[in-house]
Amino acid sequence: MCTLLPTFHHSKLHHPRLPLNNYSSHSFHSSPLTLSAAPRTSQHHTIQIRALDAAQPYDYESQICTNFQNNAKLKIGIIGFGNYGQFLAKTITKQGHTVLAHSRSDYSETARKLGVSFFSDPDDLCEEHPDVILLCTSIISTKVVLSSLPTQRLKRSTLFVDVLSVKEFPKNLFLQILPREFDILCTHPMFGPESGKNGWKGLPFVYDKVRIGTDELRSNRCERFLNIFAQEGCKMVEMSCVDHDKYAAGTQFITHTVGRVLGKLGLQSTPINTKGYEVLLELVENTSGDSYELYYGLFMYNTSATEQLERLEMAFDALKKQLFGQLHDILRKQLFDSNGGLDDTSSTETKLEASAMKETIP
């Protein structure tokens, strides 16, 4: 393909099937066209069109297609480029979106390897006017980070998105701090670097369109962001922030609590592990991999978590009472048989244990 801009000259068009003297009757405004390129030399070279349907200098269909594809891509600023922010950035950049990142720590080298532009100063990132600000901070630090963000440097219709494991807290925080012109989308990808390392297909993605502008551009931008996860095969679940926290307290918080309790037991693998025991070991490994700050945030910023913790404690107490109650019944039969005493064949150890238990029985 010629890289020079074409110029049109008034001359006779050479057609391979018609002699020049016979072609003069076929006129294009009395001056057939030839395509020529004029290099900076003393000689003039002419490029002649060999077919009437030859490709024209400007392919408008291709331009429209390219513009559409470019408009479908987003410029996303990730605030908090730690483990989870990097995890999301890998897939977002793979889909062709532009990613900018900011974090308190210097992740410039990691960002470079991922094809992400890293900004140590949040003002510089906001000056790039991203379409979306994606908060990947911890639950506890979200308020401080959001309050310190120079939102005045952003476009007035910027879409703000969070990925926290609790939802009512960031929703209320966004509504309280952000100007009314900004759009708000609360989301929870219910997976992480470990559970999503082999792909996101079938994994739940919960979202709530808290405040999205009604005009087409803003609603389309929201859908394009959600499509990042839908395109990867996530199970898309639209749910209110209130309902999310209610369900999450009974699933995510309980899971983390049980895993951390078992972790304090110091469970070890054995030569005779059962399938169930393997599941428990895996649970301990998965939950211990997350920071205590995350676990504390699940408790502190979810109003339903306290209720679930109390229910868990009540369930454990009820189970203990059931076990010891049945044990008391067995010991009563041993202590108070038909002869009114212990069997003479009982071992000394058994007698001592029964005697100790007898003192506790009213």
Q: 81-109: per-residue pLDDT in tens?
A: 999 999 999 999 999 999 999 999 999 99
Torsion of CA 148, 85, 262, 320, to 10 degrees: 60
For the chain, percent of residues with pLDDT exceeding 70: 73
Between CA 265 and CA 284 the distance in angstroms is 10
> Rounded to an integer, what is the distance from CA 240 to the centroid of its chain?
18
Question: Looking at residue 12, what is its pLDDT?
Answer: 43
Alpha helices in the chain (DSSP H): 20-23, 60-72, 83-94, 108-114, 122-127, 142-148, 168-177, 216-231, 241-248, 254-264, 275-288, 292-300, 305-335, 348-360
Between CA 238 and CA 282 the distance in angstroms is 30
pLDDT-derived band at 258 (thresholds 50, 70, 90) equals very high
pLDDT-derived band at 3 (thresholds 50, 70, 90) equals very low
207 close to 184: Cβ distance less than 8 angstroms: no
pLDDT-derived band at 27 (thresholds 50, 70, 90) equals very low
Between CA 100 and CA 130 the distance in angstroms is 8
Question: Looking at residue 333, what is its pLDDT?
Answer: 79
Output 183 or 62, whichever has higher pLDDT. Answer: 183
Say whether 164 sits in a helix, a strand or coil: coil
9-27: average pLDDT? 45
49-63: average pLDDT? 55
11-20: average pLDDT? 46
- Select from 45, 43, 34, 41 the least CA-distant residue to 7: 34
pTM: 0.69
Output 198 or 331, whichever has higher pLDDT. Answer: 198
54-68: average pLDDT? 54
Residue 17 has pLDDT above 90, yes or no: no
Question: Looking at residue 72, what is its pLDDT?
Answer: 80
100 close to 117: Cβ distance less than 8 angstroms: yes
Residue 26 has pLDDT above 90, yes or no: no
